[in-house]
A and B are shown apart, each in its own frame.
Chain A
Amino acid sequence: MATRLQFENNVEVGVFSKLTNAYCLVAIGDSENFYSAFQSELAGVIPIVKTDIGGIRSIGSLCAGNKNGLLVPHTTTDQELQHLRNSLPDQVVVQRIDERLSALGNCIACNDHVALAHPDLEKETEEIIADVLGVEVFRQTIAEKILVGSYCALSNRGGIVHPHTSVEDLNELSTLLQVPLVAGTVNRSDVVGAGIAVNDWTAFCGSDTTATELSVIDSIFKLRQAQPSSIVDEMRKSLIDTYV
C-alpha cells in the first residue's frame, strides 16, 4: 500500500529520498516528519540513513543505486562518503564517479537487474554502472525525454513512465526491462520518477497524488500483497524443494 507524504511542503518525494530493497536514504529536514514516515514503514527491515550529498538535500536526484551498490556524483564530500560507507550494509558498494552529468538520479533509472541511462552518459560511466550495480545498461529515451531517471519510476516488479509515452515505446521498454510498464501520472504531474520512491514491497508518493493514481501505483508495483515477510516466505518456498 503506497503512503502519501511531503518533504517540507514539497510533494516531490523521489527527489528527497532514495529507496531500494537493501537500504533507504532520506534528506535531512528541519522536522522529523519525513524521516518518521519512512521509519514507521521500514524500521527494522532495512537501514534508513539521513544524509546530504555535497551539502544539497535533493539526494534522490543526485545519486542512483540498487541493492548491490550506490553511485554518488563527484560533488559528494569525503565526510558524506565515509558516513554512507559506515551506515550502509557491507554488501552495498558506494562508489563516487566523475561524470559531467552529475545529477545521477535524474539520468539513471534502475532496479536490481536492469538500468536505463541518459543517452549522453560517458562510456566509462556506463561500464561503472554495469559493474557496481550489477545491471544491464540500456541507453534510452522515454517519450522523447532524455532524463530517464526523472520520468521513470522502476522497481523489480513493475514501472511507471511519462504519460505521453506511445504504445510502441511502452512495448519496447517493457521488453527491455522485462517488467510490466504503465504510462501514468504521479502527483498529477508528468514527472513520475521524481514524485515517487518505490521498492519491491512499499512505495512513498507526494500528498498531491489522487486516489486513482494510487490505485494505478498499487496495481503496477504489485504492492497489495507485498509484505517484507511474504518475500522471505516466497524465497523459502523456492529454496526448499523437498521435506524430509
Chain B
Amino acid sequence: MSVMDQDSGMFKVQQTIGSVLCCKCGVPMPPNAANMCVNCLRSEVDITEGLQKSIQIFYCPECGCYLQPPKTWIKAQWESKELLTFCIKRLKNLNKVKLKNAEFVWTEPHSKRIKVKITVQAEVLNGAVLEQSYPVEYTVRDNLCESCSRFQANPDQWVASVQLRQHVSHRRTFFYLEQLILKHDAASRAIRIQQVDQGIDFFFGNKSHANSFVEFLRKVVPIEYRQDQQLVSHDVKSSLYNYKYTYSVKICPVCREDLICLPSKVASGLGNLGPLVVCTKVSDSITLLDPRTLRCAFLDARQYWRSGFRSALTSRQLVKYFVFDVEPPVGEATVGGQKYALSYVQIARESDIGKMFYVQTYLGHILKPGDQALGYDIYGANVNDDEMEKYRLSVRNGLPEAILIKKCYDEQREKKKGKPRRFTTKKLPMEMDESRGSRVDPEKMENEYEEFLRDLEENPELRFNISLYKNKDYQDSETASMTDGEGAPSVPIEELLAELELSEEEDDDNEEDMDE
C-alpha cells in the first residue's frame, strides 16, 4: 500500500481518488473542477455555440477544384485530406476553441452535401476542459472556374506559343530534346504540342510559361529567338490590351558528329583551329574538335550566331570503312572527359575495298584491325560548301581523304536484332501536323528513332540528362553483351529507373486509412 519514494527518500502514502456525487444529478463520479458529471456539464454549457454549422462552397465540375475566395481554386478529390483541410479552413471562429479531430461522415455524392464531424475542446467553468463533437454541413454549388469557362468558350485558346525550329534534314535533336523536356517537366504547362516539319510548336496559356520554357531551352541547346505579339482585343475604357505572343526559336543547325569547315575569321578567332573540325558535343555551347591537333574549342550561342556557319557534311553522309591496320598512337589527349588518341590507320571503304587510304584519326584508342568505323569520305564526296572549296584550293597537300568519326557496331547489333532493348523511353503527347500534306514518312521516322536509341546506347554522356526506364519485356539472355567483351555497347542496368506505377486499389486503401 505504501510506496517508498526513491527520489526524495520520503514516505508517500498511495492516494486513491474517491468519488463524489455530481451536484446536479447525484450520480457518483470522480471529482472534477466543475463538480458536475459530464452529461450535466454538457447540458449546462454548449461550447459549440457561435461556431458555424453550415456553409456554402463552390466546386468546378470540369477540373474538380473548390473555390477558396477570392480567387484561388484548390484541386481536391472527394473525401480526401486536401478537401478536409480546405473545409476546416473555410470555417470561421474556429480559433476560439481547440480543434481535436475532424472526419468525414459519408454522404451520397449526388446530394451535393459534405458532412464533417468536428471534435473540439474548450475550457469551461473554473478550468474543466470539455470535449464535444458536432457535425458541420457543407452545401456544394457548381460553378465553373475562370480557366475552365475560358476554355469552354474557345478550346483552342492560347496566349503564347513557342515555335521551335532547326533547319536540318534529321530530327535527332528533337528526339533528344523531347527526352530532356520530359525529364525536367518543362512542357508540363503547355496546352498543346504540335509536331511540324523541321520543328515543334508549343502552345501555352500564359506568357510567363512560354518565357520560362524558352529560358529552359536556352540552357540546353544553343538557340536564337525573337518575340512578337499580335493584338487580340482592346478594352478602351480600362486601357487593357490582350495580346497573343509568339516566340520564334531557332536551334543552331550544327549537330554532333558533323564535319564543319570553319570560315577563316572564325578559325583565326579560335586560335587558328584547323578549319576542318568535327562537332563532338552540343549542349548550351558547341564543342569543336580539330582532328589533327586534338584541340577543342567551345562556341556558345551568341558566338555561333555571329558567324552562322553551316556544317559541310552531316551524319547522313557517313560512310562505312574497314580498318586494316592501326599504328600505335603518336599523341593522346583528354578533352572534356573524352579520351582521344591520335594515330595513323589503314582503311578502305566498304563499297570499294581495293582503294586503301592511310589517314590520321583520333579514334586510335578504340580501333583495332578488323573493326568497322564510320567516317566522312572527303576523297570521294562532292561537297557543296564554299569554305571547303576555298580551303581545298589554299592548302598545298590537299584535304585529308577521310575523317573517321566513330566505331561501327553493326556486326554485333546483328546478333541482337529483333530483341527488345533493356530500356524504354517515354514520349511527349504530340500532335502530328496533318494540314501540310504529310512530308513526314512514318518509316523514316522509325529508322531515325532507332538510330537515336543506338546513339543513346553508345554514348553515356548523352544519357546523363535523360531518364530511361526499365523495359518490362526485356529478359536477360545468356548471350548478353555483358559477358561478351566485343559486344555492342548497351545501357547498364544501374542507370535505368523503374517506372512508378500507382494502382487504383492502393489509392483507395490509403484514403480510407486517412479518414479514420
Interface residues of A (CB under 8 A from B): 163-170, 183-185, 188-190, 210-213, 215-216
Are A163 and B15 in contact, CB atoms less than 8 angstroms apart? no
Q: How far, in whole Å, are A189 and B17 apart by their CA atoms in the complex?
A: 18
Closest residue on chain B to residue A211 by CB atoms: B26
Q: How far, in whole Å, are A166 and B31 apart by their CA atoms in the complex?
A: 10
B35 at the interface (CB under 8 A from A): yes
Interface hits, B1-39 → A, CB 8 Å: 13-18, 20-26, 31, 35-36
Which residues from chain A contact B16 at a C-beta distance below 8 Å? 166-168
Which residues from chain B contact A164 at a C-beta distance below 8 Å? 17, 31
Are B15 and A212 in contact, CB atoms less than 8 angstroms apart? no
Q: How far, in whole Å, are A212 and B40 apart by their CA atoms in the complex?
A: 13
Are B35 and A190 in contact, CB atoms less than 8 angstroms apart? yes
Are B17 and A167 in contact, CB atoms less than 8 angstroms apart? yes
Are A188 and B18 in contact, CB atoms less than 8 angstroms apart? no
What are some 20 contacts across the A-B interface (CB < 8 A)? A163-B35, A164-B31, A166-B16, A166-B17, A167-B16, A168-B14, A168-B15, A168-B16, A169-B15, A183-B18, A183-B20, A184-B20, A185-B23, A188-B35, A210-B23, A211-B26, A212-B22, A212-B24, A213-B21, A216-B21
Q: How far, in whole Å, are A210 and B16 apart by their CA atoms in the complex?
A: 26
Are A165 and B18 in contact, CB atoms less than 8 angstroms apart? yes
Closest 4 CB pairs of A and B: A212-B26, A166-B15, A163-B31, A163-B20
Given contacts A163-B35, A168-B14, contact A188 B23 (CB under 8 A): yes
Q: How far, in whole Å, are A167 and B26 apart by their CA atoms in the complex?
A: 19
Closest residue on chain A to residue B27 by CB atoms: A212
Interface 1/0s, chain B 31-68, versus A by CB < 8 A?
10001100000000000000000000000000000000
Closest residue on chain A to residue B21 by CB atoms: A212
CB distance from B122 to the nearest CB of A (A): 19
CB distance from B345 to the nearest CB of A (A): 101
Q: How far, in whole Å, are A188 and B36 apart by their CA atoms in the complex?
A: 8
Interface residues of B (CB under 8 A from A): 13-18, 20-26, 31, 35-36
CB distance from B47 to the nearest CB of A (A): 19
Q: B35's contact among A165, A170, A189, A211, by CB below 8 Å, is which? A: A189
Q: How far, in whole Å, are A183 and B22 apart by their CA atoms in the complex?
A: 11
Which residues from chain A contact B21 at a C-beta distance below 8 Å? 184, 212-213, 216
Q: How far, in whole Å, are A95 and B451 apart by their CA atoms in the complex?
A: 117
Q: B23's contact among A166, A168, A213, by CB below 8 Å, is which? A: A213
Q: How far, in whole Å, are A210 and B44 apart by their CA atoms in the complex?
A: 14
Given contacts A163-B31, A190-B35, contact A170 B24 (CB under 8 A): no
Which residues from chain B contact A163 at a C-beta distance below 8 Å? 20, 31, 35
Closest residue on chain B to residue A213 by CB atoms: B23
CB distance from A190 to the nearest CB of B (A): 7
Q: How far, in whole Å, are A167 and B17 apart by their CA atoms in the complex?
A: 6
Which residues from chain B contact A169 at a C-beta distance below 8 Å? 15
Are A183 and B25 in contact, CB atoms less than 8 angstroms apart? no
Extra A-B contacts (7), CB below 8 Å, given A188-B36, A212-B21, A213-B23:
A166-B16, A166-B18, A167-B15, A168-B15, A183-B18, A185-B23, A212-B22
Which residues from chain A contact B22 at a C-beta distance below 8 Å? 212
Which residues from chain A contact B20 at a C-beta distance below 8 Å? 163, 183-185
Q: How far, in whole Å, are A163 and B21 apart by their CA atoms in the complex?
A: 9
Q: How far, in whole Å, are A52 and B60 apart by their CA atoms in the complex?
A: 76
Are A185 and B35 in contact, CB atoms less than 8 angstroms apart? yes
Q: How far, in whole Å, are A213 and B20 apart by their CA atoms in the complex?
A: 10
CB distance from A64 to the nearest CB of B (A): 26
Q: How far, in whole Å, are A166 and B30 apart by their CA atoms in the complex?
A: 10
Q: How far, in whole Å, are A188 and B37 apart by their CA atoms in the complex?
A: 12
Closest residue on chain A to residue B20 by CB atoms: A163
Q: How far, in whole Å, are A61 and B466 apart by their CA atoms in the complex?
A: 87
Closest residue on chain B to residue A162 by CB atoms: B31
Q: How far, in whole Å, are A165 and B30 apart by their CA atoms in the complex?
A: 11
Most B CB contacts (10 A, CB to CB) among A168, A170, A215 go to A168
Are A167 and B18 in contact, CB atoms less than 8 angstroms apart? yes
Are B23 and A183 in contact, CB atoms less than 8 angstroms apart? no
Which residues from chain B contact A184 at a C-beta distance below 8 Å? 20-21
